[in-house]
Amino acid sequence: MEDWSARQYRKFEDERTRPARDLLVQVPLQRPRRIVDLGCGPGNSTELLVERFPQSEIVGLDSSPDMLRKARERLPQCQFIEADIATWAAAPDTDLLFANASFQWIPDHPQVLRRLLQALPAGGVLAVQMPDNTREPANLLQREVAASGPWADNPQIKAAPRPDLPSPEAYYDLLKPVCAQIDIWHSIYNHVMATPQSIVEWFKGSSLQPYLSPLDAAAREAFLAAYTQKIVAAYKPRIDGKVLLRFPRLFIVAVR
Ligand SMILES: C[S@@+](CC[C@H](N)C(=O)[O-])C[C@H]1O[C@@H](n2cnc3c(N)ncnc32)[C@H](O)[C@@H]1O
């Protein structure tokens, strides 16, 4: 995947950090020795970890040099490493693996979750949040545009749609055999967006990236214009002219 644009991602940082806060309050640890923020992005989730666990050693990990640059500027006291979550392994004193909005991008992520959980020390925690929004209009419309434009036969565009997340039952059956406790839940956010175009801006920092990065500048513009038109039709203004972006998310907190 092309480098994530940290600037684009940070446009909606308050909204994107809210689920990280909601995940963190459910982490049943007092003083973890070492914490790794998997897919730390520009350091917004890492900052929450620093606030809650000031005594712990905190490491941010991401595959994007752009994101890591921003994270290092923001939290010079933390260590940040460039690595691929799919193949990375935690040091033995790691008590908390925290991953807000990153595992959905990892191929075969359930097996990666199981591998990482299994390697934690007894009492160690794996805390994960993933968008579960592949059936929401904003995401379905990305697929529609991808399948109908002049880019429809581009193999990278064909491979761009993110598969639906497995069910909570599937995660439970996979992870319960390697942990003492597991809590799985959904929350549905209704983010207030200034305009329908704000929804397009939001997804330019996340799920639109795999569609846009294979295209040249003119095709990108055409893709975004077609997508914007569909978003305007699908997300109607509320009483004050703003629109609500409905956003379901899946949370997992597993204790080894
Ligand atoms: C949606 S952002 C989440 C950022 C931050 N954790 C937050 O709470 O907002 C997802 C991050 O995961 C990173 N990422 C995606 N695939 C990755 C991989 N295979 N290994 C490491 N990081 C990855 C991206 O570079 C991006 O910074």
d(CA 62, CA 52): 21
Atom number of ligand 1 nearest to Cα 13: 9
Give me ligand 1 centre to Cα 101, in Å.
Answer: 7
103 lines ligand 1 (CB under 6 A): no
Of 3, 62, 85, 106, best ligand 1 pocket probe by most atoms within 8 Å of the beta carbon: 62
207 lines ligand 1 (CB under 6 A): no
Radius of gyration of the chain (CA): 19
Residue 189 belongs to what H/E stretch? Answer: strand 181-193
Q: In a 10 Å sphere around its CB, with 0-12 CB exposed, 13-18 middle and 19+ buried, how is residue 55 labelled? A: exposed
b or e along 109-129 (b: 16 or more beta carbons within 10 Å of the residue's beta carbon)? bbebbbebbebbeeebbbbbb
Atom number of ligand 1 nearest to Cα 45: 8
Model pLDDT, residue 1: 42
39 lines ligand 1 (CB under 6 A): yes
Residue ranges in the chain whose pLDDT is less than 70:
1-6, 9
What is the tens place of the pLDDT at every residue in 77-114?
Answer: 999 999 999 999 999 999 999 999 999 999 999 999 99
Model pLDDT, residue 10: 72
Give me ligand 1 centre to Cα 168, in Å.
Answer: 22
DSSP string over 52-104:
H-TTSEEEEEES-HHHHHHHHHH-TTSEEEE--TTT----TTEEEEEEES-GG
Model pLDDT, residue 62: 98
Strand pairing partners for 57?
34
Sorted by sequence, the CB contacts under 8 Å of residue 250 that are 6+ apart come out as 129, 130, 131, 132, 165, 168, 184, 185, 186
Of 58, 102, 108, 130, best ligand 1 pocket probe by most atoms within 8 Å of the beta carbon: 102
Residue 154 belongs to what H/E stretch? Answer: none
Of 43, 98, 118, 52, the residue nearest 75 (C-alpha): 43
d(CA 9, CA 203): 9
Return the DSSP state at 230: H
Please name the amino acid found at residue 228. Answer: T
Q: Whose CA is nearest to atom 12 of ligand 1?
A: 39
d(CA 84, CA 101): 15
41 lines ligand 1 (CB under 6 A): yes
Long-range contact set of residues 144-150: C-beta below 8 Å, sequence gap at least 24? 144/230, 145/211, 145/223, 145/226, 145/227, 145/230, 146/211, 146/223, 148/226, 149/219, 149/222, 149/223, 149/226, 150/219, 150/222
Model pLDDT, residue 241: 97
Please check whether residue 86 is in contact with residue 104, taking contact to mean a CB–CB distance below 8 angstroms: no
